[in-house]
Structure 1
């Protein structure tokens, strides 16, 4: 089968547990696979190279562009279309087939594609309670990650925050990227503890928060302004999206996301007291 005319960019740091599976899922299907690594202290780079990926070292200078935009600017620039995968993500077979259909007639007219995420939590695929769509595939000549005023914020560092790249036009694909982290669940809480620092900082910087809201999906923009987020998050995931059908994993995930939203609110209140 003809390889897809795109480069897969995989930003990593200490993804030795997951990276072999991620590289193997795409190495035979696309023109190039590039792992962009931030000085991993485990065997991420060695494993990725052994599976056929190019490995590029990345060092953040504390400014914009951050890591994903750097990838758009520097990773195999002769290939316009870039698919971003996290180190623990793999495209489903259905998605690869859909991509072949999309590119069969030449470069797509739209500038980007939003792709649903098949999310795994505590070892189980969530079929109901998690509904995230990522703008993961884009024409680098027409898309760019926003540069928001969050360089002084804690929690994100070199990575762009929870917002989408900007595109003049976008379409949505049907088949998912599978997000299955093989690391223990404690790493999920460690990451989201950092993310909540960033989110809490945004609560005290409304101008930056609004910039980021504008770079989210429609669903994300609505939720970004909603009150009572911990309770709303649980009700949305567990009741409205029927997360209860995912069994114990659905309950655990809904509680974990509610706890994450509670963390943000608590940290924001603490920051306000510090300023008062």
Structure 2
């Protein structure tokens, strides 16, 4: 018997992934919801053929805003909600664990953290960043996403969390050209996040409470990272991951992952921050105006 849980998946042109994602949850979730940003491929048709319920909402370049729109507007009737991205999926072991454990959790538990399994170029990446647990299951009405531009976490309004044993997988099947283009888009949102730490652009630092212990630890490390010199910090972070944390032991795929995600991407973020500061100095109003003019992001 399926537990009382719905899954919410954000999509835009995810034809390559959506079948795998839905099939991984179909024996676990009572309802499967897509919040689709008006895909132009057959994402919606494939999802509906597999029994998903599709709602569409305009994309505003913000994952947190789109996910919270789903929580506010989807006709969710289950006790629990699972958040998944389209290029993620439940492992069979996790699916069984959810079915067996979720109905028996005590009333004081409002969130469940799940271990993340990263797969890049067909290889599971286990070295460099350590184990990561993410709060992805929560009681409906007891949590929402932080309204951040990047690195957003699910936060509980009350209650405690538990950690399940088995993992969900993040495995994007697109080519590296797509991957680098996607991360170019991520870079401006990450730049906004780091500038927000420095200048409080968004005025919502109080939101950093009621996230999981691991998310809070990660956030503290990000604040420390934000204080380090531009460009040097991305190089140091790559060395930390690739040398000190053993990323070099994972072959060519490990090198590509840590170089691209740990150095190239974070250097690109610093390039965007440098450009913004060069044009605007430390004037918050000018920074916001520049980001809106150059990147069509209104803060």
| TM value normalised by structure 2 | 0.80
What residue is the counterpart of 1:195 in the other structure?
186
The answer to whether the 8 Å contact 1:213/1:221 transfers is no
Structure 2 unpaired stretches of 5+: 282-299
Distance in 1, matches of 2:9 and 2:236, equals 33
Deviations 1:162-187 (A, max 9, x none): 12121133222221111111111222
Distance 1:235 1:172 in 2: 30
1:213–1:193 CA distance, 2 compared to 1 (3 A): farther
| More deviation, 221-230/181-190 | 221-230
- Larger displacement relative to structure 2 (99-108 or 261-270): 99-108
1:53-107 deviation digits (Å, cap 9, x = unpaired): 1211122578997111112222232113110111111111121122123224256
Distance 1:274 1:75 in 2: 42
The structure whose residues are more often helix, as a share, is: 2
2:272 corresponds to 1:267: yes
Q: Give the distance between the partners of 2:94 and 2:63, measured in 1 at CA.
A: 32
Measured at CA, do residues 179 and 275 of structure 1 come closer, stay the same or move farther in structure 2, by a change above 3 Å?
same
Higher relative contact order (CA 8 A, sep 6+): 1
TM-score (ref. length: structure 1): 0.86
With over 3 angstroms needed to count, the CA separation of the structure-2 counterparts of 1:233 and 1:4, relative to structure 1, is farther
Q: 1:65 to 1:88 in 2, by over 3 A?
A: closer
C-alpha contact 2:24 2:95 (8 A) present in aligned 1: no
Greater shift in the superposed pair: 164-173 or 85-94: 164-173
SS of equivalent to 1:141: coil
Deviation at 1:224, TM superposition (A): 3.4
Q: Could you tell me how far apart the structure 2 residues matched to 1:14 and 1:172 are?
A: 32
Q: Counterpart in 2 of 1:102?
A: 101
- Range with greater deviation from structure 2 (214-223 or 71-80): 214-223
Match of 1:37 in 2: 36
Which residues in structure 2 correspond to 1:1-276 (within 5 Å)? 2-60=1-59, 66-105=65-104, 109-131=108-130, 132-147=132-147, 161-167=150-156, 168=158, 169-205=160-196, 206-208=199-201, 211=205, 216-226=215-225, 227=228, 228-257=232-261, 258-276=263-281
TM-superposed deviation, 1:122: 2.0
1:251 CA drift (Å) = 0.8
Q: 1:252 deviation in Å?
A: 0.8
Does the aligned pair in 2 maintain the 1:118–1:179 contact within 8 Å? yes
| Corresponding pairs, count | 264
State the Cα distance separating 1:27 from its structure 2 match.
1.1
- Output the CA distance in 1 between the equivalents of 2:60 and 2:275: 29
8 Å Cα contact 2:8-2:81 kept in structure 1: yes
Is the contact between residue 3 and residue 30 of structure 1 (CA under 8 Å) also seen in structure 2? yes
Per the alignment, residue 296 of structure 2 pairs with none
**1:106 to 1:261, Cα distance in 2 relative to 1, 3 A:** closer
Q: In 2 relative to 1, CA 48–200 (structure 1 residues): closer, same or farther, beyond 3 Å? A: same
Q: Distance in 1 between matches of 2:57 and 2:97?
A: 31
